[in-house]
Each structure stands twice: as C-alpha cells, then as structure tokens.
Amino acid sequence: MKTISAILFSALLTALSAKAAPDRVMTIKASVDGMVCAFCAQGLTAHFRNHDAISNIHVSLGRNLVILEERKGKSISDEEIAKAVERAGFDAPNNINRVATPFDDVKNAED
Amino acid sequence: MTGVSGDSFNLEFYRSYTAREAWGLHAMAFDRSENDGFAALQHNWLLKRWNLPNAQANTYAGIGAGVAKREGASARPAAVGAFRADYETRRIYTAFEVKGMTSEAFNRSVTSVETGFAPYLAEFDELNTWIILQAKHTSGMDDNFDLIPKLRFFKDNIFVEAGVTHRGKPMASLMIHF
C-alpha cells in the first residue's frame, strides 16, 4: 500500500511540475520605465528574438510595456526577463504579468 | 555613426560590450579647407541613466588616444575626451555635448546644445520624426558657430538626420545599430 501511495504521489508531483511550462500559449506583459525612444529601445528586442521560448515580441512605448509571447510548451522565467531588460540598459521591470489573452489582443489593446 | 556638419566631418564606430560600456574608433576632420583632423581609439561609459515612467535621462563620458594632423605637418599623438548629457520624453528632446581634442598639432573643442520636439507620438515600430535646433561652437576656427535646424528620423535600427547651418552649409548624420 505504501509503495502504491509513493507511486501515486510521485506521479502527482510529475504532473504538477509539468504545469510549470503550460501547454497553452501565454502572453507576458513586462512594465519597463524609460522606454521613450524607439531607436534606444532596439536592444530590448535583440535578446528575446533569439530566445527559443519566445515566439513574438512587441514594445509599446505608449504603455511602457514589453509584450512577449511564449512558445507552446516553453517558458521564460521572470529572472531571465529582468536580466535581459537590464542588459539592454533599462531597470528591471516593475511588474511582470502572464495572461492567457492572445498576443495580438494584448498588443492591440488600448491599455 | 557618421556625419558631416558645416565644415566638419565626424565618424564614430563603437562596439558595446556591456549596456554601459563601448569602445571603438572616433575620427573627425574639422575644416575641409585646412584638413585638420584626428583619429583615435575611444572608450565610452554610460555614467548614469535615469529610467523614469515617461522620460529618460543619461550622462556619458569618453576618453581616447590617437593621432592628430594638420595639413603639411606630420601626425602627432593626440588625446580626446567627451561628455554628454541628455533628457527626453516621447515629445521633447534636449542634449548637451562637449568633445575636446588636444595634441602638439592643434587643439579643438566642439560644444553642442540641441533641443527639439516630436510633431507626433510614434510607436516603437513606426517612423519616428523629430524637429531639432542645434547650436554648435567649435574652438580655434574662423567660422566657429553654427545654428542648425534639422530633421531627425529613425525606424528600426536606422537613424538619419539632415539640416542646413545658418551659413547655408549642409549637415547630415547616419547611425546604425548592429
């Protein structure tokens, strides 16, 4: 009985950890201050374009947002996002939100 | 970055190896009729950046070493230094810059103040347009002051600007982020 419980518990843990990289595509909204110049913010996109967990990126100067679309089944950590933003010369994001709203809807939203 | 402004020609090619540091080549010809100029290896630092909710401000410094040459004379060792401060929002832009070069051949400094505005608010992937007025003083030259109204455009990784000095001489600048 103990063996069966251990196997079930282990299977539950495996299933839960698989949830860390969800099958549905997530859109990430990272709030970054100081993005007022499109030319100066070019460096922001460079890192994310080459990241295998990111399929799309958009920078909204008007909303102070870096919008990322994760690839299905893959994930990028908040720490990695913060490091990439800092490497581009900006401060780490004030806020990082993950939403299930499609990337284009977030990109085209008013706020 | 390369550009011509009044009588001077400026060429800068930098490689950023961190978000705050870059090194590269800085060359400048001050007066095309006299062929004064220098070329130097220069290191630049972003001293401080203020990332504000709707604005950004920066201070930069650079130092370098190279050679300077006057027409008819041999090249002499030269030292260069630069300081820049800027503040911008999506609507207004201001910048102050001073560049100095000293050598046995000659000494020059270029001081520049720019202010401008964006006639419309452009997004990241759109054509950004700025209308800018630049006042520039170059020491050690006869016609040493230029007032330069200019237009600045950038889109993606390309930045261009063009204008005319108050003496009717063209000014143009090109910068590309690789």
- Is B124 close to A41, i.e. CB distance below 8 A? yes
Minimum CA–CA partner of A83 in chain B: B19
Supply the Cα-derived Rg of chain A in whole angstroms. 17
What's the whole-number average pLDDT of chain B? 89
**What is the identity of the amino acid at B9?**
F
CA-to-CA distance for A40 and B128, rounded, in angstroms?
12
Beta strands in B17-169 (DSSP E): 21-31, 36-52, 55-69, 76-88, 92-103, 108-117, 128-138, 145-155, 158-164
User: How many Cβ atoms from other residues are within 10 Å of residue B118's Cβ?
Assistant: 20
Determine what percent of chain B is predicted with pLDDT higher than 90: 54
- pLDDT tens digit sequence for B31-69: 655 678 889 999 999 999 999 999 999 999 999 999 998
C-alpha distances out from residue A10 to A3, A20, B6, Å:
10, 16, 75
Residues A25-41 as b/e (b if ≥16 CB within 10 A, e otherwise) read: bbbbbbebbbbbbbbbb
pLDDT at B51: 95
The DSSP secondary-structure symbol of B30 reads E
**Domains along the sequence of chain B with CATH:** 2-176 (2.40.160)
Which residues lie closer than 8 Å to B177 by C-beta, 6 or more apart? A39, A42, A43, B157, B159
ipTM exceeds 0.85, yes or no: no
pLDDT at A8: 57
Q: How many C-alpha atoms does B1 have within 13 Å on its Cβ side?
A: 14
**What is the identity of the amino acid at A93?**
P
Neighboring chain B residues of A60 at a CB cutoff of 8 Å: 123-124
pLDDT at B104: 86
Range in A55-59, A87-91, B15-19, B146-150 the model is least confident about: B15-19
Which residues lie closer than 8 Å to A48 by C-beta, 6 or more apart? A54, A57, A66, A68, A84
pLDDT at A111: 62
Neighboring chain A residues of B121 at a CB cutoff of 8 Å: 61-62
Is B21 in CB contact (< 8 Å) with chain A?
Answer: no
- pLDDT tens digit sequence for B100-134: 999 988 888 999 999 999 999 999 989 999 999 99
Neighboring chain A residues of B18 at a CB cutoff of 8 Å: 87
**Domains along the sequence of chain A with CATH:** 22-108 (3.30.70.100)
The residues of chain A scoring below 50 in pLDDT are 14-19
Beta bridge partners of B97: B84, B112
CA-to-CA distance for B141 and B66, rounded, in angstroms?
21
pLDDT at B11: 85
